Each structure stands twice: as C-alpha cells, then as structure tokens.
Amino acid sequence: MLVKWIRCTVVDRRGFERGQRKWAGLLGEPGFRGQSGGWSRLRPGVAHLFAFWESRAFYDSFMARSHHRLAAAQSGTFTDARVRLFEHRFDVKVGFTPTFADADVARVAHCRIHEPRVEHFTLMQEKVWNPAMAGSPGMLRGVFGEAPGNEFLVLSLWASAAEHGKYREERVERLALRAQLEADVAAITGDVVDLEPSWTV
C-alpha cells in the first residue's frame, strides 16, 4: 500500500473546503483505498491530507490521468504544499484499513533517521512503540511507512484528542528513552490533526 501525505498552508479556507469536497471524484479510481484529513491543532491554517492507494502503479496512473481535473477546484486556495509518498511497511496495532468514521484525531510523525540506525529504529517501532500504542485506550489503528532517504511516517488514528493527549503525557518520554530515539533520529516533525468528516472519501 502507498501512503500519500500532503501538508499545506490554507489562504482561502472556504474555497479550500469547497474544493476538498470535489475529491469525492476519487471514488471508483482503480487502486484507490481512501482519503481523509483535517486541520492542525498546533498550527493555525495548516491542513493535512492522507490518501491511500493499493500500489505506486495505480497512484501514478491516477496522477497522469485524473489528478489535475480534481485538483483544479482548489487552485489558489493554499500555499507551501509539501507532498510525501511512503510505502507501507507494517500496521500499528491490527490490520490497518483507511477508514476514518470512528476517529476524531490523527497523529502524524515524520522522521529522518541516521543511516546506520535505520534497522534499529524500525525494530524499536515494532517492539516498543507499536505495543505501547496498541495498548493505549482510544488508539484505533495506524500505519508505519518508509520513503527513500531514510524517511519514515508514523500515522495513528485516535478516538479523541483527550485520549491521545493522555498517552503522550503518560508514556512518550519513557518510551523514547527505552527505544533510544535520540540516537536514531536526525530530525522529527509532527502534528495532531482534527479530522474533518466532510473530507473523507
């Protein structure tokens, strides 16, 4: 599975949201699995979108054929768009499906890992972070993806912002020490996203 993550700064909120509804046109595209997104809780005006495709081939075919037509509706409503593609490595918790109806917030972490530490980082994700997240009340499901250049994405869906906040307060610092996160990570950025049900396709 291919995971696409887009982050942008919205300059025309109404126009952007109106254009966002046009992405319902993705339904029926070969290989399309689902899409959703919402507003950053930490950075005003920043929107995040997450799209899921069966494979890179299906995604490339869509980009060559239909993408421009759907994207035209949002032209001029945002700036500073950053697009990243990640190959699914493994699920966080149980079998990941790109469904969003039960989720209130998404947590996204984008990590650049020191080359010699990639194997260790991946192992720690599997053995330390995954079980901790899976055992946290309110954590629904997630996905761990990899891109060329030692880049990784951890995307997790949560039933509520409060439950995610509790996990962060109670466990993250301790888990980071146990996983030797500081030694692995060259750079890390993250955000918490209030999911917008009307953006879900």
Quote the number of domains for the chain: 1
Q: What's this model's pTM, rounded to 2 decimal places?
A: 0.94
The confidence score (pLDDT) of residue 167 equals 86
- Could you tell me which residues are beta bridge partners of residue 51? 4, 35
SS3 30: coil
The range of the structural domain enclosing residue 152 comes to: 2-199
Q: For residue 73, what is the domain's CATH number?
A: 3.30.70.100
CA separation for the pair 134, 85 (Å, rounded): 24
pLDDT at 93: 86
CB 59 within 8 A of CB 53: yes
55 or 169, higher pLDDT:
55
How far apart, in whole angstroms, are the C-alpha atoms of residue 127 and residue 129?
6
pLDDT of residue 170: 83
Q: Which string of b and e fits 48-57 if b means at least 16 CB within 10 Å? A: bbbbbbeeee
Average pLDDT over residues 84-110: 94
| pLDDT (average), residues 184-194 | 96
> What pLDDT score does 171 carry?
85
Is residue 172 pLDDT above 90, yes or no? no
Mean pLDDT of the chain: 95
pLDDT tens readout for residues 22-61: 999 999 999 999 999 999 999 999 999 999 999 999 999 9
Question: For residue range 101-159, what is the model confidence (pLDDT) as tens digits?
Answer: 999 999 999 999 999 999 999 999 999 999 999 899 999 999 999 999 999 999 999 99
- Rounded to whole angstroms, the Cα distance separating 4 from 67 reads 13
